[in-house]
Structure 1
Amino acid sequence: MGVVLAYTLAVALFCSFGNAQVTLVPAIITFGDSVVDVGNNDYIHTIFKANYPPYGRDFKNQEATGRFCNGKLATDITAENLGFTSYPPAYLSPQASGKNLLLGSNFASAGAGYDEHTSLLSHVIPLSQQLEYYKEYQGKLAKVAGSKKAASIIKDALYLVSAGSSDFIQNYYVNPFLNKAYTPDQYSSYLVSSFTSFVKSLYGLGARRIGVTSLPPLGCLPAARTIFGFHESGCVSRINTDAQQFNKKINSAATQLQKQLPDVKIVVFDVFKPLYDLVANPKKNGFTEATRGCCGTGTVETTSLLCNPKSYGTCTNASQYVFWDSVHPSQAANQILADSLIIQGISLIG
């Protein structure tokens, strides 16, 4: 974390609470896909799992928790930046009980999207079900904390939403029924409409501080280069253009929601630029490889079928790689993304 950012957060913590060990928000509640899933998919029947090596090899105790990374996710690092010493648990895990619920909870499911059909195709937890689990969580929280404290936690918690990548990479681009029926622009509009409905539902359940990630440069993901790049060198430009068009729409939708919903704060975190900068200029940021992931060949490995303990060619030092597998950033890249997120989201924790 940059010196200025670290100093700013330290001052905020000290001024607010003196020397007590505290957090800048009471809880973190997360919805979405594999970028933020901390293990919910471990408990459902799907091929989208990361609860086996080499996933988690640089995490605490070298534990494969279900995170699609060699170590920490950007949201884990964000939690640490906000003062948390442990992470809000995956809602379906045994850890999501008792006092652990006071930290918040994570409802994300790798493979989920704003399009319900994306989740159904991957046999994962759609956003609609994630919301239902959140309602359950509220009831459990009230029993643990009491209704008054629970209401305060719900109101002041930080809500994080990450979705959209699976809709394009695992559904739209490979689904002829979709890509023949809708242009990328039309599909983006459909997804943003779903995003708007989701945020309104979340708001109705008490959320007031909401951070949502933009799409990353999808055309720079190693899997996209392999599957859709053909003879194009570098990132797949048409896919990056689609991502940028989506990002414009979700920013516009967030602005409208901010006007429509009283007392809400919504920030769209720009993930596109910081990740694109890492891919375009890896050496500037201390990386040596940005075209393929560390796991196996690094070109197509994203699920248990391909990135596994027997994957041939897995790198020895993931910190030199921008990507861990063919879709997900390494912990080293997540550190840079998290530093960007905390700066962009300062209004959510003020």
Structure 2
Amino acid sequence: MTISSLFLCYYWILVVISWLGWISAQPLVPALFIFGDSIVDAGNNNNLETLVKANFAPYGRDFVKHKPTGRFCNGKLASDFTAENLGFTSYPLPYLSKQARGKNLLLGANFASASSGYDDTTAKIYNTISLSKQVDFYKSFQKKLVGMVGNSNTSSIINGSIHFVSSGSSDFVQNYYINPLLYKKYTTDQFSDILLESYTNFVQELHKMGARNIGVTTLPPLGCVPAVITIFGDDTNSCVENINKAALSFNDKLNSTSQILQARLSSLNLVVLDIYQPLHDLVTKPMDYGFFEARKACCGTGLLETSFLCNSKSPGTCKNASEYVFWDGFHPTEAANKILSDDLLAAGISLIS
């Protein structure tokens, strides 16, 4: 399918969804629940004693009111655009924020935490919220919801909502590849198996709690991330192919594991959302999508900076982030997130039941 055909397809999907949303005058699903890492963290880490934060300038400079929120981006995340595509006029609030209470919880919640992963030890290293702890928070969320709307309405909300998961990147980049206790003991395939066991438990737990529509993203092309090229690229400006190969292998196993879970849990609608290929295309053919820089990020030198290393005094920060695929050393810009969210929309249309 040509690029023009893909864009036409996305356009008509958006038209249909917008039309349906106009008729119902409400979101297409009751609520949106978000789990995972920094790709979807909307500010939970603001409330933790951790160095992994993004609640300071220049993060958020292109977001609402041009203020940082804790999002690891200059503006909106792909999950923010997803919420908009579903008809929500506001985004699920970080569960640890003071605003995440009362009626604000009726539209869902964001449990994600930067530097967390499928492996709980990844979060322990950075003192962030592990995926299993995110599930615990989800349980407490459901208790609060029952207190507001009762058991029956809570079940209807949970059953009909979308549960969005983005995890695994930190397990590899911020744990496995820098931890000799792991890379000397396990091959990448063996480590992937460990992560997928945790993934299986996570999905089964969500299902037990009433989740029926779950969308999980694949790993991105980790070897093409600016900081990864800087650290592991042997002085080249090209993607680190052995790390990309590990990501692709994990993604294959994620697909097969998800198919097994889908067959085992008949009431589950589990969709694997590929972000590897869309982001790889942006990195390798940036000008085809209106970008001019894919090797360096916008913030600072663009080679390594992220979290506290990307700050208002970082020299060299670009003026127009929309020309860049990456905002900091690890995370896409709002412009890139918009394109990725359109791919998620096309792939995840079946989650709207």
Q: Aligned to 2:133, which of 129, 133, 154? A: 129
Post-superposition CA distance 1:49-82 (Å, at most 9, x none): 0000000000000110000000000000011011
User: Match for residue 77 of structure 2?
Assistant: 73
Length-normalised TM-score, structure 1? 0.97
User: Match for residue 301 of structure 1?
Assistant: 305
Q: Aligned to 1:324, which of 323, 327, 347? A: 327
Amino acid across the alignment from 2:110:
N
1:10: how far off? 4.0
Q: Aligned to 2:103, which of 99, 102, 119? A: 99
User: Match for residue 11 of structure 1?
Assistant: 16
1:24: how far off? 1.2
Contact 2:237 2:295 in 1 (8 A): no
Amino acid across the alignment from 1:301:
E
Amino acid across the alignment from 2:112:
A
Aligned length: 348
Segment of structure 1 superposing worse, 261-270 or 212-221? 261-270
Which runs of no fewer than 5 residues in structure 1 stay unpaired? none
Amino acid across the alignment from 2:31:
A
1:231: how far off? 3.5
Contact 2:100 2:109 in 1 (8 A): yes
Segment of structure 1 superposing worse, 227-236 or 245-254? 227-236
User: Match for residue 345 of structure 2?
Assistant: 342
1:19: how far off? 3.2
Length-normalised TM-score, structure 2? 0.96
Q: Quick one: distance in 2 between partners of 1:219 and 1:278?
A: 13
| SS across alignment from 2:337 | helix
Segment of structure 1 superposing worse, 51-60 or 230-239? 230-239
| SS across alignment from 1:292 | coil
Is 2:336 aligned against 1:333? Answer: yes
Q: Quick one: distance in 1 between partners of 2:140 and 2:344?
A: 29
Segment of structure 1 superposing worse, 228-237 or 56-65? 228-237
User: Match for residue 33 of structure 1?
Assistant: 37
Equivalent residue runs for 1:16-165 within 5 Å: 19-165=23-169
Amino acid across the alignment from 1:8:
I
Percent same amino acid at aligned positions? 54
Contact 2:13 2:346 in 1 (8 A): no
Q: Which runs of 4+ in 1 moved over 3 A?
A: 1-15, 17-20
Contact 1:13 1:23 in 2 (8 A): no
1:20: how far off? 4.0
Q: Quick one: distance in 1 between partners of 2:25 and 2:8?
A: 21
Amino acid across the alignment from 1:172:
Y
Contact 1:102 1:145 in 2 (8 A): no
Amino acid across the alignment from 1:53:
A
